[in-house]
């Protein structure tokens, strides 16, 4: 059995849903994981934040606009009156639930990191998209089963997937339908250890597909988006890029983490540990080869470039001439205390520089670091990551990289920590020019 995940743009309109239905309609057993329709989650976040700020009129306006959009989708998706009515009933149920939550306690933070009402609102996107898609398959007389992800997807107290629970409960759900071959379920949403609705964070539908693939020992997990797999550079900023036919799990993980939007960073690890191939495909161009990710690297050297924005660089200079014993330990303890991961790190005789992509606790981090030494903060930075296999042992690449970057200001360089990447920190306004210069030099 395969697992096929379709992202928001893949189900972003009635036309796209119909195209996905054609792709999944065959005799091959599969579980189809759907995201919310493109733009929906952003609207749901806006609704939740407006309610958090007691801006009820603004929330109502966003709800009405989103509901109107979905009623148009229903009219375009279904051709039979009976199913149009069922589609409208489905929308009425979900938007009725959203409106019923308007008086509830949403969250104690604007990013909805807690609060059941906010998370219930965010879950409606995937519930609507899967409900409409399953209803469309039924209208087309395509036999399928709608599997509620909330029946088997669960995270623990550390917000990590409960793999044993997922495997046991998903297996039990599938055993209820021994003769069925096509199953539809939601990405992103889950329950927590207390039985409350929760989620796998933004982009989590890819993660859902990977976790399901491991739970059923799938022969392959396919991630369908609007681009034909990983490209050797970001096509939004650089012309003449091309898709990469095959990558190793390690190479794919580096690219996903450092900015390649085609795959959610958490997706790779479960598949890697279970050695389940992951294939990236383009819903708009289903005949394109895409990218196959396996445990086997193909060829040495740099294969792709990715860029990660929203980076903050923090330099901590020791009060003593040379780094004192225990200095680094104290620095890292600050970031551990505030649960803030570090992306890059470089050191000198008297200072250490690190980067973070989560600046939500920056003020408190800086306050603590000032007790250790002098602190400098640089915002609006970008990490450019060059990814490949066995890079350190290949001659000539470093020369090409630094020759291309000769006229750009480089804030930090990380080389040698991994056999798979070279990372460079630059001001974000230089990103496009840097990507173009590296592309010209390397490819």
Let me know if 89 is exposed, middle or buried by CB neighbors in 10 A (0-12, 13-18, 19+). Answer: exposed
Of the listed ranges 54-68, 165-179, 253-267, 271-285, the one predicted with least confidence: 253-267
pLDDT at 285 over 50: yes
At 416, the pLDDT band (50, 70, 90 cuts) reads confident
Of the listed ranges 38-47, 150-159, 315-324, 357-366, the one predicted with least confidence: 315-324
Q: Would you say the CATH fold of 303-442 matches that of 2-226?
A: no
pLDDT at 228 over 70: yes
Rounded to two decimals, the pTM is 0.90
Q: To the nearest whole percent, how much of the chain has pLDDT over 70? A: 96
- Find the angle CA(230)-CA(231)-CA(234) to the nearest 5 degrees: 115
pLDDT at 137 over 90: yes
What is the mean pLDDT of the segment spanning 314-328?
A: 77
Instruction: For residues 5 and 210, give the distance between their C-alpha atoms in angstroms, rounded to a whole number.
Output: 9
- pLDDT for position 441: 92
- Beta carbons within 8 Å of 416's beta carbon, 6+ residues apart: 392
Residue 248 in tokens? 């190793």
CATH code of the region 303-442: 3.30.2130.10
Residue 252 in tokens? 């794919």
- pLDDT for position 103: 64
91 compared with 55, residue with greater pLDDT: 91
Of the listed ranges 138-152, 221-235, 380-394, the one predicted with least confidence: 380-394
CATH code of the region 2-226: 3.40.1160.10
What is the mean pLDDT of the segment spanning 227-239?
A: 93
How long a stretch of residues is the chain?
443
Task: Evaluate whether 109 touches 119 at the Cβ level (below 8 Å).
Answer: no
pLDDT at 79 over 70: yes
Residue 422 in tokens? 């070279």
Mean pLDDT across the chain: 92
- pLDDT for position 417: 77
Q: Is 215 strand, coil or helix?
A: helix
Q: Where are the domains of the chain?
A: 2-226, 303-442
């Amino acid at each position: 059995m395969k697992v096929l995940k379709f992202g928001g743009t893949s189900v972003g309109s009635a036309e796209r849903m119909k195209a996905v239905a054609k792709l999944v309609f065959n005799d091959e057993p599969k579980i189809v994981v759907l995201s919310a329709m493109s733009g929906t989650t952003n609207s749901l976040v806006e609704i939740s934040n407006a309610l958090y700020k007691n801006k009820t009129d603004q929330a109502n306006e966003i709800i009405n606009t989103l509901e109107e959009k979905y009623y148009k989708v229903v009219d375009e998706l279904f051709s039979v009156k009976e199913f149009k009515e069922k589609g409208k009933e489905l929308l009425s149920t979900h938007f009725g639930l959203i409106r019923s939550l308007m008086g509830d306690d949403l969250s104690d933070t604007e990013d909805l990191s807690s609060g059941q009402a906010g998370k219930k609102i965010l879950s409606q996107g995937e519930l609507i998209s899967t409900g409409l898609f399953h209803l469309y398959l039924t209208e087309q007389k395509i036999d399928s089963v709608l599997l509620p992800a909330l029946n088997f997807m669960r995270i623990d107290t550390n917000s990590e997937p409960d793999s044993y629970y997922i495997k046991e409960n998903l297996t039990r759900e599938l055993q209820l339908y021994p003769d069925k071959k096509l199953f539809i379920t939601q990405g992103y949403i889950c329950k927590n250890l207390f039985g409350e609705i929760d989620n796998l964070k933004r982009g989590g539908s890819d993660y859902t597909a990977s976790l399901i693939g491991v739970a059923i020992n799938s022969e392959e997990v396919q991630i369908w988006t609007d681009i034909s797999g990983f490209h050797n550079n970001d096509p939004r900023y650089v012309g003449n890029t091309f898709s990469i036919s095959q990558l190793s799990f390690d190479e794919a993980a580096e690219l996903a983490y450092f900015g390649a939007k085609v795959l959610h960073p958490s997706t790779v690890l479960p598949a890697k540990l279970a050695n389940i191939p992951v294939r990236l495909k383009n819903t708009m161009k289903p005949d394109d080869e895409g990218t196959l990710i396996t445990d086997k690297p193909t060829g040495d050297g740099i294969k792709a470039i990715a860029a990660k924005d929203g980076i903050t660089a923090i330099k901590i200079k020791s009060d003593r001439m040379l780094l004192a014993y225990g200095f680094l330990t104290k620095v890292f303890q600050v970031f551990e205390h505030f649960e803030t991961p570090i992306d890059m790190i470089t050191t000198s005789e008297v200072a250490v520089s690190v980067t973070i992509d989560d600046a939500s606790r920056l003020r408190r981090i800086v306050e603590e670091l000032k007790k250790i030494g002098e602190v400098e903060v640089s915002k609006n930075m970008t990490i450019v990551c060059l990814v490949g296999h066995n890079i350190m042992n290949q001659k000539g690449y470093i020369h090409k990289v630094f020759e291309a970057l000769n006229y750009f200001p480089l804030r930090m360089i990380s080389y040698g920590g991994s056999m798979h990447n070279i990372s460079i920190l630059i001001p974000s306004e230089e990103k496009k020019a840097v990507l173009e210069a590296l592309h010209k030099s390397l490819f």
